[in-house]
Amino acid sequence: MNKLGQSLGLSIMTGILIILVGLMAVNFLMTEVSTARTSLSCSDATNIEDGNKLLCLVADVTIPYWIWIIVALAIGGITARFVL
């Protein structure tokens, strides 16, 4: 087996590890996001100020943004083996 084949297998396993650890961290983030939404009263959009509405939007986007970061790191780690 050549060196590229060995490093590709290692990078795929590392990418899977990054995805697993990152998705396990999502459970901790979900509780913090729900706590933040409760303390900001995000369920009642008519009675909150504009700044709090923006914070509610940021809190809502946190989980999908985190998942995109995890996927990007895993794919970047796998493709870096081809370039380097």
Please tell me the predicted confidence (pLDDT) of residue 79. 87
What pLDDT is recorded for position 3?
A: 64
- pLDDT means over runs of 10, the chain (84 residues): 70 90 92 90 83 89 94 90 74
The per-residue pLDDT for 51 is 85
Sign, CA torsion 45/49/50/54? negative
Contact 70, 22 (CB under 8 A): yes
> For residue 66, which phi and psi values (nearest 5 degrees)?
-65, -40
pLDDT of 4: 62
pTM of the model: 0.77
